[in-house]
Chain A
Amino acid sequence: MRTWLLVMGLLTVSAVVLCGAWFAPHDVTEVVGVPWSAEGLLGTDVLGRDVLSRLLAGGAGLLAVAVPAGLAASLLGTVAGLAATWTPWVERLVLRTSAGMLAVPGLLVVLTCAVALPAWAAVLAGMVLLGTPLSARVVHAAATPLRRAGFVLAAVVRGERPRAVLMRELLPVVGATVLSDAGLRVVAAVQLTVAVHALGLGPQPPAPDWAVMIRENLPGVALNPWSVLAPAAAVAALTAALLLGLDLLGTRIVPRTVPRRHAPPPPGPSRPVTGVVELRGVTVESEPGVPLFAGLDLTVAEGEIVGVVGPSGAGKTSLLRLLLGDVRPGARVVTGQLLWHGEPVVFGSRVARRWRRAHVGLLPQDPAATLDPLRRVGAVAPADVLARLGLPSDVGRRHPHALSGGQAQRVVLARALAADPELLLLDEPTSGLDAATRRLVTEEITARRRSTVIVTHDLRWARSVCDRVVELRHGALVPVGETPTRPRAAVVEFGAPVLRLEDVAVARRGRELVRGVDLELRRGELLVLVGPSGAGKSTLLHAVAGLHPVIGRVEARGTVALLGQDPVAELNPVHSLGSAVARPLRLAGLRRREARDRAVELLAEVGLGPEFADRRPGECSGGQRQRAALARALASDPDVLLADEPTSALDATTADAVLEVLDRRRAAGLAVFFVTHDEDVAARADRVFEVVDGRCAERVST
Chain B
Amino acid sequence: MAAALTVGRAALTLFLVCLLVFLITTALPGDAAVIAAGQHATPERIAELRAALGLDQPVWTRFAGWLSGAVRGDLGVSLVDGRPVAPLLWSRFTATLFIAVPVWVLALGVGTPVAMLLGWRADRASSALLAAIAGLPEVVLAGGLVVVFATWLGWLPAVSLVPAGGTAADRPEVLVLPVLALALPATAWIARLLRGPVSDVVGRPFVTDALLRGVPVPTVAVRHVLPHLVPPLAQAGAVLAGGVLTATTVVEAVFAYPGMGQLLATAVGTRDSPVLQGLAALVAVVVLIAVLAADAVAAVPAGRAGAR
Instruction: Name A residues whose Cβ lies closer than 8 Å to a Cβ of B.
Output: 102-108, 111-116, 180, 183-184, 187-188, 190-191, 194-195, 198-201, 211, 214-215, 218, 221-222, 225, 228-229, 231-233, 235-236, 239-240, 243-244, 247, 251, 321, 324, 326, 353-358, 360, 362, 364, 366, 369-375, 399-402
B147 and A221 contact, CB distance less than 8 A:
yes
- Given the contacts A108-B280, A399-B305, A228 and B246 also touching, CB distance less than 8 Å: no
A211 and B268 contact, CB distance less than 8 A:
no
B212 and A218 contact, CB distance less than 8 A:
no
User: Cβ of B102 < 8 Å from any Cβ of A?
Assistant: no
A229 and B140 contact, CB distance less than 8 A:
no
Q: List 9 A-B contacts (CB under 8 A).
A: A105-B247, A108-B280, A195-B139, A222-B150, A356-B212, A372-B206, A373-B304, A374-B305, A401-B306
A191 and B269 contact, CB distance less than 8 A:
no
User: In this complex, which of B128, B227, B276, B304 has the most chain A Cβ atoms within 10 angstroms of its Cβ?
Assistant: B128
Chain B residues closer than 8 Å to A229, beta-carbon distance:
143-144, 147
10 more A-B contacts (CB under 8 A) besides A112-B268, A198-B254, A324-B214?
A104-B287, A106-B246, A108-B264, A190-B135, A218-B146, A232-B140, A235-B136, A354-B214, A364-B209, A369-B204
Closest residue to A210 on the B side, CB-wise?
Answer: B140
Bound together, the chains give a CA A183 to CA B124 distance in angstroms of 14
Bound together, the chains give a CA A244 to CA B211 distance in angstroms of 34
User: In this complex, which of A111, A190, A201 has the most chain B Cβ atoms within 10 angstroms of its Cβ?
Assistant: A111
Bound together, the chains give a CA A355 to CA B214 distance in angstroms of 8
> Does more than half of chain B's interface fall in helix, strand or loop, or is it mixed?
helix
A194 and B140 contact, CB distance less than 8 A:
yes
Closest residue to B306 on the A side, CB-wise?
Answer: A401
**Interface mask (B123-139 → A, CB under 8 Å = 1, otherwise 0):** 01000100110011111
Chain A residues closer than 8 Å to B132, beta-carbon distance:
187, 239-240, 243-244
Bound together, the chains give a CA A642 to CA B295 distance in angstroms of 48
A235 and B137 contact, CB distance less than 8 A:
yes
The interface stretch among B56-64, B77-85, B235-243 is: B235-243
A113's contact among B24, B140, B238, B242, by CB below 8 Å, is which?
Answer: B24
A225 and B24 contact, CB distance less than 8 A:
no
A239 and B135 contact, CB distance less than 8 A:
yes
User: Cβ of B50 < 8 Å from any Cβ of A?
Assistant: no
A218 and B143 contact, CB distance less than 8 A:
yes
B24's contact among A112, A233, A366, by CB below 8 Å, is which?
Answer: A112
Chain B residues closer than 8 Å to A114, beta-carbon distance:
268
CB distance from A130 to the nearest CB of B (A): 12
A115's contact among B25, B128, B215, by CB below 8 Å, is which?
Answer: B25
Bound together, the chains give a CA A215 to CA B246 distance in angstroms of 18
- Given the contacts A115-B268, A183-B131, A195-B137, A356 and B249 also touching, CB distance less than 8 Å: no
User: Cβ of B271 < 8 Å from any Cβ of A?
Assistant: yes
B137 and A243 contact, CB distance less than 8 A:
no
**Which residues B240-274 have CB closer than 8 A to chain A?**
242-243, 245-247, 249-250, 253-254, 264-265, 268-269, 271, 273
A372 and B239 contact, CB distance less than 8 A:
no
Chain B residues closer than 8 Å to A321, beta-carbon distance:
212
Bound together, the chains give a CA A115 to CA B30 distance in angstroms of 10
A251's contact among B124, B223, B265, by CB below 8 Å, is which?
Answer: B124
- Sort chain B's interface into a size bin: 35 or more
CB distance from A218 to the nearest CB of B (A): 6
Bound together, the chains give a CA A214 to CA B131 distance in angstroms of 22
A228 and B250 contact, CB distance less than 8 A:
no
Closest residue to B253 on the A side, CB-wise?
Answer: A199
CB distance from A457 to the nearest CB of B (A): 20
A402's contact among B152, B243, B291, B306, by CB below 8 Å, is which?
Answer: B306
Bound together, the chains give a CA A13 to CA B137 distance in angstroms of 19
CB distance from A414 to the nearest CB of B (A): 13
A370 and B209 contact, CB distance less than 8 A:
yes
A214 and B246 contact, CB distance less than 8 A:
no
Chain B residues closer than 8 Å to A402, beta-carbon distance:
306
B213 and A184 contact, CB distance less than 8 A:
no
3 tightest CB-CB pairs across the interface, nearest first? Answer: A401-B306, A357-B214, A187-B135
Bound together, the chains give a CA A107 to CA B238 distance in angstroms of 16
B305 and A194 contact, CB distance less than 8 A:
no
B128 and A353 contact, CB distance less than 8 A:
no
Bound together, the chains give a CA A373 to CA B301 distance in angstroms of 9
B140's contact among A188, A214, A370, by CB below 8 Å, is which?
Answer: A214
Chain A residues closer than 8 Å to B21, beta-carbon distance:
112
A199 and B249 contact, CB distance less than 8 A:
yes
Chain A residues closer than 8 Å to B205, beta-carbon distance:
364, 366, 369-370
B269 and A199 contact, CB distance less than 8 A:
yes
- Given the contacts A374-B301, A399-B304, A214 and B151 also touching, CB distance less than 8 Å: no
Bound together, the chains give a CA A374 to CA B268 distance in angstroms of 48
B249 and A195 contact, CB distance less than 8 A:
yes
A214's contact among B139, B206, B283, by CB below 8 Å, is which?
Answer: B139
- Given the contacts A112-B280, A115-B276, A195 and B268 also touching, CB distance less than 8 Å: no
User: Cβ of B158 < 8 Å from any Cβ of A?
Assistant: yes
B238 and A374 contact, CB distance less than 8 A:
no
A221's contact among B135, B146, B304, by CB below 8 Å, is which?
Answer: B146
Bound together, the chains give a CA A394 to CA B239 distance in angstroms of 41
Chain B residues closer than 8 Å to A214, beta-carbon distance:
139-140, 142-143, 254
**Which residues B208-224 have CB closer than 8 A to chain A?**
209-216, 223-224
Chain A residues closer than 8 Å to B142, beta-carbon distance:
214
User: Cβ of B27 < 8 Å from any Cβ of A?
Assistant: yes
Chain A residues closer than 8 Å to B128, beta-carbon distance:
180, 243-244, 247
- Given the contacts A103-B287, A247-B124, A326-B212, A399 and B306 also touching, CB distance less than 8 Å: yes
User: Cβ of B28 < 8 Å from any Cβ of A?
Assistant: yes
CB distance from A354 to the nearest CB of B (A): 7
Chain B residues closer than 8 Å to A199, beta-carbon distance:
249-250, 253, 265, 268-269
B212's contact among A104, A111, A364, A374, by CB below 8 Å, is which?
Answer: A364
A360 and B214 contact, CB distance less than 8 A:
yes
CB distance from A665 to the nearest CB of B (A): 41
Closest residue to A328 on the B side, CB-wise?
Answer: B208
CB distance from B209 to the nearest CB of A (A): 4
B246's contact among A108, A353, A364, by CB below 8 Å, is which?
Answer: A108
CB distance from B54 to the nearest CB of A (A): 18
User: In this complex, which of B152, B212, B227 has the most chain A Cβ atoms within 10 angstroms of its Cβ?
Assistant: B212
Chain A residues closer than 8 Å to B287, beta-carbon distance:
103-105
B136 and A239 contact, CB distance less than 8 A:
yes
- Given the contacts A232-B140, A235-B137, A243-B131, A218 and B158 also touching, CB distance less than 8 Å: yes
A111 and B304 contact, CB distance less than 8 A:
no
Chain B residues closer than 8 Å to A356, beta-carbon distance:
212-214
CB distance from B84 to the nearest CB of A (A): 21
B280 and A357 contact, CB distance less than 8 A:
no
Bound together, the chains give a CA A114 to CA B264 distance in angstroms of 12
B146 and A362 contact, CB distance less than 8 A:
no
Bound together, the chains give a CA A108 to CA B271 distance in angstroms of 14
Chain B residues closer than 8 Å to A200, beta-carbon distance:
265, 269
CB distance from A646 to the nearest CB of B (A): 28
Bound together, the chains give a CA A353 to CA B141 distance in angstroms of 45
Chain B residues closer than 8 Å to A370, beta-carbon distance:
205-206, 209-210
User: Cβ of B228 < 8 Å from any Cβ of A?
Assistant: yes
A357 and B213 contact, CB distance less than 8 A:
yes
**Interface mask (B39-76 → A, CB under 8 Å = 1, otherwise 0):** 00000000000000000000000000000000000000
B139 and A371 contact, CB distance less than 8 A:
no
Bound together, the chains give a CA A200 to CA B254 distance in angstroms of 11
Chain A residues closer than 8 Å to B280, beta-carbon distance:
108, 112
Bound together, the chains give a CA A251 to CA B142 distance in angstroms of 33
A191 and B209 contact, CB distance less than 8 A:
no
B124 and A184 contact, CB distance less than 8 A:
no
Bound together, the chains give a CA A570 to CA B22 distance in angstroms of 55
Closest residue to B207 on the A side, CB-wise?
Answer: A372
CB distance from B179 to the nearest CB of A (A): 17
B146 and A105 contact, CB distance less than 8 A:
no
Chain A residues closer than 8 Å to B283, beta-carbon distance:
105, 108
Chain A residues closer than 8 Å to B254, beta-carbon distance:
198, 214-215, 218
CB distance from A643 to the nearest CB of B (A): 31
Chain B residues closer than 8 Å to A401, beta-carbon distance:
305-307
